[in-house]
Chain A
C-alpha cells in the first residue's frame, strides 16, 4: 500500500475508532439510567470495535515507520494485526448478540450465535496477513455484520424513525465496506482496499449523525 493510502487509512480508522468509542460512551451512560442488557452489549461491542480500529490505525502507522525485516518489527506487526482483528470481530459479535437479545429476548440466543459463527481458529502465520487484514477475518466480520444489518432492518421496519435509520445505514455501510475490503484482498488491490475503508468510514459518519440526532431530541 502506498504512503498516501496508508495516511488515509490511519485518518479514517482514527476517526471511525473515535466515533465507535463515543457510541459506547453513550451506551454506558444511558445504561446507568435505563439499565438494559442490550445497552451493555452495545457498549461493550463498540468499545472493542473502537479500540480495534485505533489499534488498526497504529498498525498502519507502524507499517510505515518500523523495519519489518527485523524480528522485533515483524513480531510487533503480527501482534497488533491479530489484536485489532480479534477486537473487531469481538466487537461485531457482541453487537450482534446484543441485537439478538433485544429483538427476540431468547435466553441462550447469544451462545447459539457464538457457536454458529465462530469457526475453529485457523493456523495463523504472519505472512498470511496483508497490511493488517486477512480474508478469514473479513469474511467473519461480513457474516456478523449481515446479521446485525438484518436485525437493524427489523428494528427500522418496526419503529420507522430517523435515528434507527441512521443506525441501519451505519451498519449497512460498514458491511459494504468490508465486502469491498474482502474483494480487494482477493484481487490484491490497494486502491480498492482504500475504497472499502472509505465506505466503512461513511458508516461511522452515519453513526455520528445518529449520536448528534439523539442529543437533539425535540421536547415531548
Chain B
C-alpha cells in the first residue's frame, strides 16, 4: 500500500483522495505542469492548491523542477503507482455503489 490517505471527510464535495487524484492526473497528463495549469484543471483555489501540492511533495508523489524562473511539477514513480492504486480502488468501490 502506498500510504494511507483518509478520505472520509470530504472538502467542498470532493474527498482529499479525489483531489489528490485530480492533481496527479493533471500533472501526469501534461508530463510537466505549471501551478497555474494545475489550478485550472483541478479546479482549486491558489491557497488550497499550494496546500495539496505541499502534501503531495511530502509524500514524494510529485517533484518540483525549477527551469529558470519557471516552476514545474512532475509525477514521481511512486506517484504513478499511487494513481494506479487509487484508480483500482475507485473501480472496486464503484462496483458497490461508492466513490473514493
Contact = CB atoms under 8 A, between A and B. Distances in A.
A205 interface: no
A33 B5 contact: yes
Given A32-B1, A33-B5, A34-B17, A99 B96 contact: yes
A152 to B, nearest CB: 9
A164 interface: yes
A213 B97 contact: no
A26 B1 CA distance: 11
Nearest to A170: B95
Contacts of B8: 35-36
A215 B88 contact: yes
Nearest to A165: B95
B94 A164 contact: yes
Interface residues of B, number: 24
Contacts of A38: 93, 96-98
A214 B100 CA distance: 14
B6 interface: yes
Interface string B80-100: 000011111111111111101
B25 interface: yes
Contact of B91 (A98, A99, A213): A213
B4 interface: yes
Contact of B98 (A26, A102, A154): A102
Contacts of B88: 30, 214-215, 217
B91 A217 contact: yes
B7 interface: yes
A32 B6 CA distance: 8
